[in-house]
Amino acid sequence: MKKTFSIGGVHPNDSKISSGCRIEVLPVPGTVYVSMLQHLGAMANPVVAVGDKVKVGQVIGEPSGFISAFVHSPVSGTVKSIGPRKDLAGWNITHVEIEVEGDEWAEGIDLSDTLVTEIPQDTKAILDKIKLNGVVGLGGATFPAHVKLCPPPGKKAECLILNGAECEPYLTSDNRIMIERSKEIVVGAAIMKYVLGGCPAVIGIEENKPEAIAAMKAAVAELQANAKGYDGISVMVLKKKYPQGGEKQLIDAVMHRQVKSMGLPIDVGAVVQNVATSLAVYEAVQKNKPLITNTLTVTGDCLPMERQHNYLFRIGTPLSFIIDQMGGIPEAAVKVVSGGPMMGKAIVNLDATTVKGSSSLLFLTAAQTVRKEQGNCIRCGKCAEACPMGLEPFLLNKLAKNRMMDELEENAVHDCIECGCCLYTCPANIPLLDVIRIAKGDVIKIIRGRQAAARAAAEAAKAAEAAKAAEPAKVAEPAKK
Amino acid sequence: MNKLLISPSPHIHTRTSTASLMRDVVIALLPTVIVSILFHGWSEIIVLGVSILSCVLLEYLITRFLLKKPSTICDWSAVVTGVLLALNLPATSPLWMVIIGAIVAIGVAKMTFGGLGQNLFNPALVGRVFLLISFPVAMTNWAPVKGFIPGVDASTGSTLLGMVKEGGIEALEGTSYLNLLFLNIGGSAGELSAIAILAGFIYLLARKVIRPHITLSIWLTVFVFSGIMWLIDPSQYTDPVFNLLTGGLLLGSVFMATDYVTSPMSAKGGIIFGVGIGLITMLIRYFGAYPEGMSFAILIMNATVPLINKFCKSKKFGR
Amino acid sequence: MTQTIIWTIAIITLLGVLLAVVLYLVAKKFKVEEDPRIEEVEKVLPGANCGGCGHAGCHAFATSCVGASSLDNNFCPVGGNETMKKVAAVLGMEVKEKAPMVAVVRCNGTCENRPRTNEYGGYASCRVKSALYCGDTGCLYGCLGCGDCVAACAFGAISMDPATGLPVVDEEKCTACGACVKACPKGVIELRNKGPRGMRVYVQCINKEKGGVARKACKVACIGCGKCAKVCAHDAITIANNLAYIDFTKCKLCRKCVAECPTGALVAVNFPVPKAKPAAPVAPAAAKVEKPAGAVSVKEAPAALASEKKTVETKEEQK
């Protein structure tokens, strides 16, 4: 019996049309626009000036906080401008515009194809390389990778989970890299496993990717036979079910442990990294190559087979350039999505640029994506059945519309992972997630506010006690809940 | 393509819709409908036709002219109510009675609460119970009607449960389980054939329209409860298999207790709901004044659904 | 027979008396002591429970008034000065008069002025839309047109004009409770001085982008050119972030700025018609919007104003 997560989930048609398309290297465009906000956290500060000559792999943005990341130039050329440019949702973000001249790489980057299997033994050096090369989680959240690989004191990683589930329909980039770059991914996994203190590593792959499963198993076996430091790495085949690739769901499927509400994976001893992140870690640590390329799927039911692609692109390539390369937007498409159809973002601005986390350009037709008219809730409970977090979307929807914040919190709206199962499954086409997402934000704000107030109160109490001198301290009771 | 379409995720939707679910229920009811037409003939066709027509028409008129909202007849829910109401009536029902039933079902039980999804009680059952209490004679008139299959015209004047209520368990001499399974002579259209209803049940499960919790828990409760009573005194209490196969139990447990709107949301709630229905049904059958208690049991448990929903929450992840 | 009736009457009477005693005792035991003035204050309040005063409802407001030492921090925007005078009379306190305010829509991005660049297909709510992306026009700051303000208004004072896609404030009904200001995720609506006979001058735009960008997105955008600030003799206009804002406490309604504005983002409303000549370039746009009013005094509805007080969140802040 193949494993999967225990609550809810849906089975949309997986539509992995482009899974057989080999990764092609996308040409470098004439101009790239590198966003300074390609990761979760604080925006990076540009460290180049207009007119500067940059090389491929040169740092052009530095992190501006603990949770932030380095940004590197994906091309060599001249910085044309630094300023606001609209991202794919239409918001202004600082971008560095670089006009491409040649392809000159910065020093110290190993451009050869040789597989380096020997794992360096200096944890600090490895982490520094991951950080300096701007590696972020490529599973969607783009959380800086080095932060996740340093468990907070007192917590120990018991299992490294490599996320190869790729449960979103249509997406095939992870599938392709698992087939074509399997050994590199396994080396990356071994490096991360070493950093985490040698815990076992499990590569979780959904059953609908047999080729990737075979390739990864072969790579693990080969490396285990020929090199040191690869013990304890295994491939686990998972049942096909969305959202298996959700961090909490994957941990549940692989380790049978459930991360508590508002908790982190490390609380149950898990660290989850995407297979693409593992590849980036390999390149960063073994080749000293910064994260300046990623794989992107171009797909959609309205595209003929020969126009389905998996591209290796330079980060900063404008979407419009990719669309030109693949031959324009198909007639039938009404929506272009960056990411999968369940959690991806609809693109409003096709001139926007690709970022580290770009994983696909998905073209959807009107029949697939236009929402049907909303009907009455028939209380079928299908949303609650589908919710992988065990929530009751029908109830949350009602509470959110009446702005009942206490009840929303009681019913754990803040646990929502925005996977979209409820809206996907609702036979009455009620925009459950649209409403719940907003309520979730509000409730999290309330919870954070309360926590901050409690902290402040505790600190004030502490200060007062300190002032009272050596009298036995009475621990300030943090505000309830 | 001129303007990009933007909306929040998810960008795709399952093909299942309210209308497709309701249509599946109608399809699942077809075997039962066909059997009843075969055995009750033209009179059944007329009852069915009038019931469906008046339900759909009423829903249309009320939504259009009273509520001034877009009409909801395209979602098939009125058709389901119409078919279920007809299957709950004797084939001999006078047409005015069918129409009154439809008015109560759609007008009172459904639309006064705000239409589909808002009603507390199952509309078809409210219609049936209203008729049963208002016109007890017409509602229990199981007089023989001419069916399309010669030779097996329904010939008894009473249902088996009615016979037990009046004449005690001895009245059952000579009925076999096989008979009950295939053709349960006497009773309303929906009580005719257990096999036809089971076929519908399997279809609903296969199409994932309903979950089995409610139905199975009703069956199990009825079986266990009547089994205990039967073991205590087989001369006074009917046996479990008989209880499962007679009366409206199958039709009610498969099609009416599982009605989305009036049943609990969670699986756990569904089991409590089912056990309640099973117990109340058997209590009425064994000790009540009516020979059959399924309708009352479902309606009584319908009233507890909000409470069940409040206390039977699904298990949350990581809690 | 007679005896039965007598017994019935006796028992029921006895029961009634008994229950009355129980009720009395319970009421006595659980009586909530409350300052009687709270009830008196509540009586003179409008009772809309709109929350415009910042309290949870009229009762909470009354409690707050009774508990406060002065009425300076408590003001009922719905009842206005008259109600506050009554409250003051009840409590024997002084109250300062406040100038009447009105909600003003600071965006004139009609379908014509601000062409749509994409199509929004999600749930029709401004909050959902603004959380998702920049909106279906080139303007990142203006009205999203989904009507969250309409839903928030407890007095039915805001409606969407289908022709412009913008909300229209009915000045007669608007109580300046501020619910719409809170509901608007873009901060388009501002509470402004109602002005003598409703006459107001304000900037009908809150776009903070550079002039060229703003103008490209919307024909009537404020481009922050500063001409209005130069011409203003009362120091009422400030320019910040490419946007002009008129301080209504300083504005003397001279309307020199209106004539100066090159894009027509600056508007004057409710001024007598013959004298409106300097405002000519604005008139067409404004006139279109005001259509629904058309009463004796020229009512101009949607109004928009730029303010730094209610800063619109920029993209960076949202991230």
The pLDDT, as a whole number, for residue A468 is 78
Task: Say yes or no: A438 contacts chain C, CB-CB below 8 A.
Answer: yes
Which residues of C lie inside 8 Å of A (Cβ-Cβ)? 117-118, 121-123, 125, 127-128, 131-135, 140, 209, 314-316, 318-319
Parts of chain C with a pLDDT under 50: 275-319
Q: Which CATH architecture has domain C36-91?
A: Orthogonal Bundle (1.10)
| Pairwise CB contact (< 8 Å): B317 & A350 | no
Residue B191 pLDDT greater than 80, yes or no:
no
A399 plus A272 within the same structural domain: no
Pairs of CB atoms within 8 A across A/C: 51
- Helix, coil or strand: residue B4: strand
Mean pLDDT, chain B, integer: 87
The pLDDT, as a whole number, for residue A478 is 46
Task: Say yes or no: A230 contacts chain B, CB-CB below 8 A.
Answer: no
| Pairwise CB contact (< 8 Å): B6 & C121 | yes
| Pairwise CB contact (< 8 Å): B317 & A347 | no
* Contact (Cβ atoms closer than 8 angstroms) between residue B163 and residue B121: no
Average pLDDT over residues B211-228: 95
Residue A47 within any structural domain of the chain: no
Mutate to test the interface with B, among A7, A376, A422 (most CBs of B within 10 A): A376
Residue A253 within any structural domain of the chain: yes
The pLDDT, as a whole number, for residue B181 is 67
Average pLDDT over residues B103-107: 94
Angle at which helices B194-206 and B18-61 cross, to 10°: 120
| Pairwise CB contact (< 8 Å): B266 & A348 | no
Locate the domains of chain C by residue range.
36-91, 101-311
* Contact (Cβ atoms closer than 8 angstroms) between residue A34 and residue A292: no
Among A277, A293, A309, which residue terminates a domain? A293
Closest CA to B199 of B128, B135, B255, B263: B255
Task: Round to whole Å and give the CA distance between B232 and B311.
Answer: 35
Average pLDDT over residues B220-237: 92
The pLDDT, as a whole number, for residue C282 is 43
Task: Report percent pLDDT > 90 for chain B.
Answer: 56
- A454-468 burial: b if 16+ Cβ within 10 Å, else e: beeeeeebeeebeee
What is the tens place of the pLDDT at every residue in B33-90?
Answer: 998 888 888 888 999 999 999 999 999 999 988 888 888 888 899 999 999 999 988 8
Angle at which helices C58-67 and C36-44 cross, to 10°: 120
Residue A250 within any structural domain of the chain: yes
Task: Say yes or no: C144 contacts chain B, CB-CB below 8 A.
Answer: no
Pairs of CB atoms within 8 A across B/C: 25
Task: Round to whole Å and give the CA distance between B68 and C295.
Answer: 30
Task: Say yes or no: C124 contacts chain B, CB-CB below 8 A.
Answer: no
DSSP assignment of chain C: -HHHHHHHHHHHHHHHHHHHHHHHHHHHHTPPP--HHHHHHHHHS------TTSSSSHHHHHHHHHHSS-STT---TTTHHHHHHHHHHHHT--------EEEEE-----TTTS-B-EEE-S-S-HHHHHHHSS-SBS-SSS---S-HHHHH-TTS-EEEETTTTEEEE-TTT-----HHHHH-TT--EEEEE--GGG-EEEE-----S-HHHHHHH-TT------HHHHH-SSS-EEEETTEEEE-TTT-----HHHHH-SSS-EEEES--SGGGGGGTTTHHHHHHHHTT--SSSPP--------STTPPPPHHHH-
Which residues from chain A sit within 8 angstroms of residue B13, using beta carbons? Answer: 371-372, 423-424, 429
Mutate to test the interface with A, among B3, B6, B13, B211 (most CBs of A within 10 A): B13
Of A43, A90, A431, the CB nearest to C123: A431
B200 or B155, which is more confident: B200
A275 plus A145 within the same structural domain: yes
Task: Say yes or no: C73 contacts chain B, CB-CB below 8 A.
Answer: no
Which residues from chain C sit within 8 angstroms of residue A369, using beta carbons? Answer: 121
Which residues from chain A sit within 8 angstroms of residue C208, using beta carbons? Answer: none
Task: Round to whole Å and give the CA distance between A361 and A337.
Answer: 6
The pLDDT, as a whole number, for residue A477 is 46
Per-residue confidence band for B1, with pLDDT thresholds at 50, 70 and 90: low
Mutate to test the interface with C, among A345, A433, A434 (most CBs of C within 10 A): A434
CA distance A293 to chain C (A): 24
Task: Round to whole Å and give the CA distance between B175 and C41.
Answer: 78
The pLDDT, as a whole number, for residue B186 is 61
Domain of residue A267, CATH code: 3.40.50.11540
Residue A392 within any structural domain of the chain: yes
The pLDDT, as a whole number, for residue C286 is 42
| Pairwise CB contact (< 8 Å): C136 & B6 | yes
Q: Tell me which residue range forms the domain holding A156.
A: 114-293
CA distance C138 to chain A (A): 8
Of B12, B14, B72, the CB nearest to A369: B12
pTM: 0.86
3 state SS for chain A = CCECCCCCCECCCCCCHHHHCCEEECCCCCEEEEECCCCCCCCCEECCCCCCEECECCEEEECCCCCCCCEECCCCEEEEEEEEEECCCCCEEEEEEEEECCCCECCCCCCCCCCCCCCCCCHHHHHHHHHHCCCECCCCCCCEHHHHCCCCCCCCCCEEEEEECCCCCCCCHHHHHHHHCHHHHHHHHHHHHHHCCCCCEEEEEECCCHHHHHHHHHHHHHHHHHCCCCCCEEEEEECCCECCCCHHHHHHHHHCCCCCCCCCHHHHCEEEEEHHHHHHHHHHHHCCCCCCEEEEEEECCCCCHHHCEEEEEECCCEHHHHHHHCCCCCCCEEEEEECCCCCCEECCCCCCECCCCCCEEEEEEHHHHCCCCCCCCCCCCHHHHHCCCCCCHHHHHHHHHCCCHHHHHHCCHHHCCCCCHHHHHCCCCCCHHHHHHHHHHHHHHHHHHHHHHHHHHHHHHHHHHHHCCCCCCCCCCCCCC
Task: Say yes or no: C128 contacts chain B, CB-CB below 8 A.
Answer: yes
* Contact (Cβ atoms closer than 8 angstroms) between residue A325 and residue A27: yes
Structurally, chain A folds into a number of domains equal to: 2
| Pairwise CB contact (< 8 Å): B8 & C123 | yes
Which residues of B lie inside 8 Å of A (Cβ-Cβ)? 1, 4-14, 16-18, 20-21, 72, 75, 77, 115-118, 211, 260-261, 264-266, 313-319
Q: Which chains touch C (3 or more CB pairs under 8 A)?
A: A, B
Mutate to test the interface with A, among C114, C216, C315, C318 (most CBs of A within 10 A): C315
- Taking CA atoms, C169 is separated from C106, C188, C290, in Å, by 11, 13, 10
Parts of chain A with a pLDDT under 70: 469-481
Which residues from chain C sit within 8 angstroms of residue A431, using beta carbons? Answer: 122-123, 128
